Structure 1
Amino acid sequence: MRQPFRKASVYIALLLIVEALIGLLIVVVTAIYHTILAAYLTDIESRLLYGYLFSIYIFGVQLMVTFLCSICMWNRLWMRRCTPNIRLLLTIWLFYSCVIITSGFATMWNLYRSVGVLENAAETSLTRGIDMYYTCPEWKLAWDSLQLHKECCGVHSYKDWMCAEWMPRPENNYSQSQAVLAPFACCKRSCENCFASQIPGPGSVDSSEGGHSRQPFPTLTVDSINTNGCLPIFSSALWRFLYILLALAALSLKFLILLCCFTKYIIQRQNVGDGCDNGGLTDNDGRPLVIVKYPCNVRCITIGEEDLASDMAPDINYCNCEQSLEDSCQHYEP
């Protein structure tokens, strides 16, 4: 095919590469947030999350594979003559690309409708983790790591730890507004005296049992811990992930519209060039060329400019008749 403007093939290739890179970004962003969100869930809820994100992975892979293969397709099309089959191929390719982008938006709409389900699953998982904090070492490590890195405490707030059935109730001489029973992982990073109560002292020995047993959690203050819950952080991360996906899908749609415009313009220019418009076909020197169609039983000869300028050019007759003496021969004069 002819390039309707300078470096048309370069612009088409750049748009295809950008679309493939957007697909790669969608896969990478989904993998990163999949790891972040899975830290709040157990194995069962993680499978539920993977089920919702699997279609996002497929969408990104489809963008990469489709537009990387499209680069090879366009490179081969530039070397071929524009025929009705080529125009049909480009039309089908545009339709298939639009279907992929549409399915991506439908997948994101499904994820948007499932935000409430994922939030409820995370709430259930984290609440179960508080109940199993001492009986399941995996949950203890998960909660401590989550609260230290995300700087949160409890599901909705630090009070979730105090409401646990296994948690000892604070003594009467502590004020509820100041005394808090929570893991050390809830302590603020800027608190210097937060871990002072972790050192055994005279007040931590239970003399009635004759041992050095202590309460499972020391008494902390509200000012020394993170009071915000971990579930709001999960929700904000989930919404942030959804907004990033929506922005990437919008970018892919924008570049697809540019590809559609370029493709339609190229097809239109090919249609003009294949007709009787001399401006569509030119030789190496920029002179217009004329396409002459002739029957299959007529041989073609090449006449140079010097022959056209000469008055002594001989008349050439060609005969393509059956070898019969009584039949007359029809002559074709150029």
Structure 2
Amino acid sequence: MYKNTNHPFVTWAACLLWLISMFALTWSLLIFFCIGDMLLMTGTDLVNAFTLLSGLLMFPTNVFILYSIATGRTIDHKAKVLCCPLWLSIFWIIIINIIGVILCIRTMNSCHDIILKNIYSGIKYYRTVPKYKHVVDNLQWSLKCCGLKSYKDWFDLEWHDKIRDYEWDSVNKRDVHGRKVSSKSETDSVPFSCCKSGSCISNYLKELGTYSINTAGCGDFMYRIVMISMNAHLILFLSIIIIEALLLKFICINTNKAYSGVCCGNKRVSVRHLMPVNDDFDASSGSYMYCQEEGDGGETYTKFDNDN
């Protein structure tokens, strides 16, 4: 059974950081593959990328630390982790998370305008760009919302599929000369993704009512979600910075203690452990008297007094 020569904080910090790295990797990859388009729409793609990068660097670093602790070795800050010293790996983790903090603050200051602009663009090009249609439909289904500020945002936009939606022809009739008949609004219908259930009344809403669709806009919902997400990322980045800095400090302290050995300062150090001493020996001369004294720090040292 080995004796752990590392500070207890090093052990607990390494375990916590390893768990954080696993969470960062899993969460960032899950978001990227499931709602990657939403990241671009909300301007949070860079924050997610730095979360993934931070997890990638923390994982091997903390696995190395935990393995050293498990094998009973004192962790050296100059030890190699993959291709660089341990202290340099921790330094880069701290730098990446500092950049993550900056990105979080910048995103929180500008995300409202970015979200409104991108959602409006998605609604505007809903019919002509399939990518926007897919993103907007997923957004409205998942958040149970409709439009940017309300369901009425769809009324003034040409979002219909001309083949599928028969009401499109009724509001785009042309006279005998081929001129388009003007209308105050294009239509009073919304996409099926605004429905509260799988099917609903999404056409002629002014006459039939809106009881079967979601009427709240998606802009405010998405903004609140992004702000919660950015605050969570900000706390995560700051926690990693603090824990990594303290971890590096305690590792350096342990390394210095391991290499310093016995500290020799102004205090007298006992040397009785270096070689055996016979306390009952006969002095060759009576002019010398053997005695032991105890120092200020509790150390025992030997001196010889001359009677003459």
TM over 0.5: yes
**How far off its partner does 1:164 sit?**
0.5
Q: 1:29 to 1:131 in 2, by over 3 A?
A: same
Mapped contact 2:21–2:54 kept (Cα < 8 A): yes
TM-score (norm 2): 0.60
**2:223 aligned partner:** 235
Q: 1:7, CA displacement in angstroms?
A: 7.0
Which of 237, 243, 261 is residue 255 of structure 1 equivalent to?
Answer: 243
Find the aligned partners of 2:78 and 2:246 in 1 and give their Cα distance. 19
The letter for the 2-side match of 1:234 is: M
Q: Pick the structure with greater CA Rg.
A: 1
How many angstroms apart in 1 are the aligned matches of 2:154 and 2:136?
11
Q: For 1:146, which of 131, 139, 157 is the aligned residue?
A: 139
Q: CA deviation at 1:70?
A: 2.9
How much has 1:166 moved relative to structure 2? 5.5
The Cα offsets for residues 56-87 of structure 1, whole Å up to 9 and x where unpaired, read as: 3212211222222233455678369xxxxx67
State the number of aligned residues: 253
1:40–1:122 CA contact under 8 A, matched in 2: no
- For the structure 1 residues 79 and 19, does the alpha-carbon distance in structure 2 shift closer, same or farther, using more than 3 Å as the test? closer
Cα distance, 1:162 vs structure 2: 0.7
> In the alignment, is residue 24 of structure 1 matched against residue 22 of structure 2?
yes
More strand by share: 2
In 2, the alpha carbon distance for the partners of 1:107 and 1:7 equals: 34
Is 1:188–2:188 an aligned residue pair? no
User: How far off is 1:150 after superposition?
Assistant: 1.3
Over 3 Å counting, the alpha-carbon distance change for 1:107 and 1:11 in structure 2 is closer
Q: What TM-score, normalized to structure 1?
A: 0.57
1:70 maps to which of 61, 65, 69: 65
CA separation in 2, counterparts of 1:63 and 1:308? 57
1:153 and 1:47 map into 2 onto residues whose CA distance is 17
Counterpart position of 2:12: 14
Which residue of the partner structure matches residue 330 of structure 1? none
CA contact (8 A) 1:37 1:237 kept: no
Q: Distance in 2 between matches of 1:110 and 1:188?
A: 36
Root mean square deviation, CA, Å? 4.6
Read off the aligned partner of 1:78 and give its amino acid letter: R
Deviations 1:256-276 (A, max 9, x none): 354345435535654774234
Question: 1 CA distance for matches of 2:252 and 2:218?
Answer: 51
SS in 1 for 2:216: coil
Post-superposition Cα deviations, 1:261-312, rounded to whole Å, max 9, x if no partner, equal: 54355356547742349xxx9xxxxxx87576xxxxxxxxxx656x665669
Q: CA deviation at 1:104?
A: 0.6
Structure 2 residues without counterparts, runs of 5 or longer: 161-167, 172-183, 284-308
Tell me by how many angstroms 1:161 deviates. 0.3
Contact 1:37 1:238 in 2 (8 A): no
Check the 8 A contact 1:94/1:260 in 2, yes or no: yes
